[in-house]
Structure 1
């Protein structure tokens, strides 16, 4: 039965799954979904996932549409290297804690930074008011510090000396602002060293491949923006500025 992955590599969860599958030599058919073009609103995609969001895993009639569930499924189904999600319950608990926190604590604010600093101005022609942007960047810095103090501490990786699922997920999220030319690693030697260890473990070639679309997003042709996506962007701009 063929494994299918539906991914948009601008998305941190999608990059996490893509890199994880590649690193563990998991054979899969890759379907590139361009969210800015509205591929996730097509009838074909909705027939696969009524949630209309990426990532999506499909194996025959079996479908998963949440990144954490997909990653844990891949570790079990394909018996990936034990260090990603070790059997030790305390280590699993540490990984689970990060994965439970990361959507609210990391994903939302990192994604908001990409939208606020790059996509909203690029698509609408409107810069966010300085006080609104300052609020966003303050939250970014607060949550990064929380990540360092509570999760990373003085360890090479989140669970010790070896990379785990949580490290890969966190690094992908923190690359979002970099796509908007806001390097959150500058002036943070401990965080920068951790990110470099993640990249070295992944391999520079695969890391670069997975981030190519994100880092070239400023060159994206906004004339092919899907109407549903533009409506969402305008709504997001309204919510941020009001």
Structure 2
């Protein structure tokens, strides 16, 4: 059986966790505690040379990192519902279009805004670098506006790549949870994005909410009034 190494504090870890639960692909779920730096141990380096999560070790010993590569590998080997990654070449290309767009255009600014505004000050004890946070906020808002106005260009567009949910939607939704932990509401003034997020969450529950228990606790601890 494939071993899946993850921590639900990691956005791509959550996305793959939800996908595996939704599709019932056989896997052994193994938590790697990022807070305890378990990913930086020599033991884990033997599993993933980059010492990051998520990653997998398949039943034959094959090792793979990077969430999108893992997703494509899993869909190639398992009979999963076609909506997640269509067999039709053009429909699949539309999912791939977002998967490639995601890394620098959504993940980078959302993650770095969260880290600069909340995580780094919390770990270091130093004050927030407001100048750096403002720069990442500007990039993040450009990306959020692109999701609202380009990817979801009309109220009739239900999901990012098609009329059915795909892995692109899970990956994007999990990423948008990060700024919420740093007192920023990504859906404020973006009604299409909010409606899309609600559809993604509804389509993937109860697993979506289960994957975000820790994130929700952080948001509540930071104070909903600040969102």
TM-score (normalised: structure 1): 0.84
Equivalent residue for 1:177, pick from 172, 176, 179: 179
Q: What are the residue-to-residue correspondences of 1:156-195 with 2, within 5 Å?
A: 156-195=158-197
Instruction: Give the deviation of 1:159 after TM superposition.
Output: 2.2
In the other structure, the counterpart of 1:215 is: 216
Contact 1:9–1:211 at 8 Å: present in 2 too? Answer: yes
| In structure 2, distance between residues paired with 1:40 and 1:129 | 27
In the other structure, the counterpart of 1:199 is: 201
Q: What are the residue-to-residue correspondences of 1:64-103 with 2, within 5 Å?
A: 64-103=64-103
Instruction: Give the deviation of 1:217 after TM superposition.
Output: 4.3
Pairwise CA RMSD: 1.8
In the other structure, the counterpart of 1:228 is: none
Matched, 1:53 2:55: no
Instruction: Give the deviation of 1:168 after TM superposition.
Output: 1.1
| In structure 2, distance between residues paired with 1:41 and 1:131 | 30
Matched, 1:6 2:5: yes
| In structure 2, distance between residues paired with 1:161 and 1:219 | 33
1:143-177 Cα distance to aligned partner (Å, 9 max, x none): 11122333222211112321011111111111111
Q: What are the residue-to-residue correspondences of 1:36-47 with 2, within 5 Å?
A: 36-47=35-46
Q: Secondary structure at the match of 2:186?
A: coil
Instruction: Give the deviation of 1:47 after TM superposition.
Output: 1.1
Contact 2:121–2:127 at 8 Å: present in 1 too? Answer: yes
1:102-141 Cα distance to aligned partner (Å, 9 max, x none): 1111111111122112112212232324333222211111
Contact 1:8–1:54 at 8 Å: present in 2 too? Answer: yes
1:29-50 Cα distance to aligned partner (Å, 9 max, x none): 1111122321111121111111
Structure 1 residues 123 and 219 mapped into 2: Cα distance closer, same or farther (>3 Å)? farther
Q: Secondary structure at the match of 2:183?
A: coil
Contact 2:13–2:67 at 8 Å: present in 1 too? Answer: yes
Alignment gaps of 5+ in structure 2: 222-227
